[in-house]
Structure 1
Amino acid sequence: MKKSTSVHELYWNYQKETFILAGRFYLVASPNLSHRLGTPPRRLTNDPNPEEYWEKEREKHWKSLSREYRASFSWPVSGELLKPSETATWSAYKGINTVKQSYGLDVGYKYTTLDAMPIKQLTLAELKIRENNPQAELENVHQMAFDNFCLLVFKPTKVDHTVIPRSGIPQRFIYSTDKDNWVVEEVNP
């Protein structure tokens, strides 16, 4: 597999300062999806299992989300056109907009809050046994929402920082790294 050499940039402009950060973005997805979305970055230490480390980080950030925001990861795909259902019951919309998992879970907008729960990886057979059980459905929805949640990790390699004083000459600094150390150089603005 060919390694990507693409560089991504983030730009922040404050009142008297500008930051341009260059580096790489990494997507830390559920292990169920990571084969489709690439691998997470390596750790800064020599930890032999970066996937385990990043999965723990993903879970930690998941648990820090609000109950309302966590529930939104069980909703239909954002930005798609709404298609009102003629036979809707608890879900306002059905059809192509309703989230469906391989085990037949169809929740639409049923959940507007979702408490953090222990993460359980269940087989399809275990999921089938749990049908028609409200607590099991809640656990399944939680797992589905967690599977939909990804971390976006940015690893900067260069920072361009410009400071614009009220009077006088602006200052500009370029920070760059060679993997282990950061170097700063003052350059012309």
Structure 2
Amino acid sequence: MASLQAVEKTLSELNLLGPDGWPAWTQILQKAHKTNYGRSEDPIYLHLASKTRLGAVTLLAVQFLDFLPEDGRYVLFQLSITDQTLLSTIQSNQVGQLAWQMPKSREYFHLTGKFYICSAPRQVTRYSPPVLPHVSATTEDLAAQRQISNQFWEARRLEQWRKLPPKARASYTWPMSGSAPKAPATAFQCLAMEDMSQLDPPTSPLSPTGRSNNRDSLMSQDGTPNPMSLPSSPSSVTSFRSRWNSTTGVSDDAPLSPISAQNKLRNDNPAKILHDIALDNFCVLVFKPLDIVHFESSPLPPKRTVSSRNGNLGWGTSVHISNVFDPNCLLDLYRRCSRPVGCQ
């Protein structure tokens, strides 16, 4: 049997692996993303098709976040733990299909693969992120590898949280999608939220350096501090405070250690508590493609490249010449409906 190095060398000669060792489709997809979106800050949505356990077909939209820098085979998307529709779809069926149509280069990607959920340590979800070999290769113990992997993915989740715009962070404090909030006037009051994940708790309500408790970091619609950041915090903040105390072991009557005192100061800051609730709701949806169809309509004749995983043997690629009006591609369906048959 050929060694792994020999297989990788053969795949490299066939141009199936890129210069960084990942499959060639990773560079093609990232290049297409850079060409079509560049530095645009507009959200990017992909269509997700999946099947539930009962056989019902679901079609949802997922928001693209980034490509995983450490491993080009993984694509990151945005997910809220309160989005029961998307969350139940992923937890019901780990396998899904994504359709990504590039607006400028007239390229189309059809991705089939597995989903994983990178959630806060306090949350319990199905299909936790995979253990990356190059991350957990420092130890052979399986439990230690899982612990290192969890730390790695939590760091990536916090990194993506800090990249979110303040308005996007604030949306994680809103009621779950499709629900009727009990207090509509205040349910969507938080419209902007600054990142407080790296906030060092001050030693007093107003530190010598002039730093306050950052209650102004949560802004309402009229530009005033959000009422939810005032001392009269909602029941969700009270619930989070009790969970925080049980996690950190803080008791109101017990003497406090320096670390516990810092946690109590953070616990008494309603703005920080509300921020941590939103951060707890934020998840990273990790997608690992196993079958990629890349359709290019610009060249004549159009070209379709199919890349699929062949178990432990690596990736296999086949190139096909397609008809201009290929019924299997959404891009060609759009062209067929928008132009006469004889137009090129």
TM-score w.r.t. length of structure 2:
0.41
1:21 corresponds to which letter in structure 2? L
Of 231, 235, 244, the residue aligned with 1:122 is: 244
Name the CA shift for 1:82/1:10 in 2 (closer, same or farther; >3 Å). same
Q: Which moved more, 1:135-144 or 1:13-22?
A: 13-22
Q: Which residue in 1 is equivalent to 2:180?
A: 81
2:111 corresponds to which letter in structure 1? L
Structure that is richer in helix per residue: 2
- Residue 44 of structure 1, CA deviation: 4.6
1:137 corresponds to which letter in structure 2? P
In 1, are the aligned partners of 2:120 and 2:282 still within 8 Å (CA)? yes
2:277 corresponds to which letter in structure 1? M
* CA–CA distance in structure 2, aligned partners of residues 63 and 172 of structure 1: 38
Of 107, 112, 118, the residue aligned with 1:17 is: 107
* CA–CA distance in structure 1, aligned partners of residues 152 and 294 of structure 2: 31
Q: Which residue in 2 is equivalent to 1:8?
A: 96
* CA–CA distance in structure 2, aligned partners of residues 136 and 163 of structure 1: 54
Q: Which residue in 2 is equivalent to 1:96?
A: none
Q: Which residue in 1 is equivalent to 2:238?
A: none
* CA–CA distance in structure 2, aligned partners of residues 117 and 151 of structure 1: 18
- Which aligned pairs between 1:131-146 and structure 2 lie closer than 5 A? 136-146=269-279
- Are residues 1:50 and 2:183 paired? no
How many residues align structurally? 164
- Which aligned pairs between 1:1-189 and structure 2 lie closer than 5 A? 6-14=94-102, 16-33=106-123, 35-47=124-136, 48=145, 49-84=148-183, 92-93=185-186, 108-118=187-197, 122-124=244-246, 126=250, 136-165=269-298, 168-177=300-309, 178=311, 181-189=314-322
Larger relative contact order (C-alpha < 8 A, sep ≥ 6)? 1
In 2, are the aligned partners of 1:119 and 1:143 still within 8 Å (CA)? no
Name the CA shift for 1:169/1:110 in 2 (closer, same or farther; >3 Å). closer
In 2, are the aligned partners of 1:30 and 1:147 still within 8 Å (CA)? yes
- Residue 188 of structure 1, CA deviation: 4.8
| Paired residue secondary structure (2:289) | strand
* CA–CA distance in structure 2, aligned partners of residues 113 and 171 of structure 1: 45
* CA–CA distance in structure 1, aligned partners of residues 251 and 160 of structure 2: 26
- Structure showing greater Rg: 2
2:304 corresponds to which letter in structure 1? R
| Paired residue secondary structure (1:31) | coil
Q: Which moved more, 1:42-51 or 1:65-74?
A: 42-51
Name the CA shift for 1:72/1:144 in 2 (closer, same or farther; >3 Å). same
- Residue 135 of structure 1, CA deviation: 6.4
* CA–CA distance in structure 1, aligned partners of residues 172 and 313 of structure 2: 37
Name the CA shift for 1:5/1:145 in 2 (closer, same or farther; >3 Å). closer
Identical pairs, percent: 27
In 2, are the aligned partners of 1:12 and 1:20 still within 8 Å (CA)? yes
In 1, are the aligned partners of 2:175 and 2:181 still within 8 Å (CA)? no
| Paired residue secondary structure (1:40) | coil
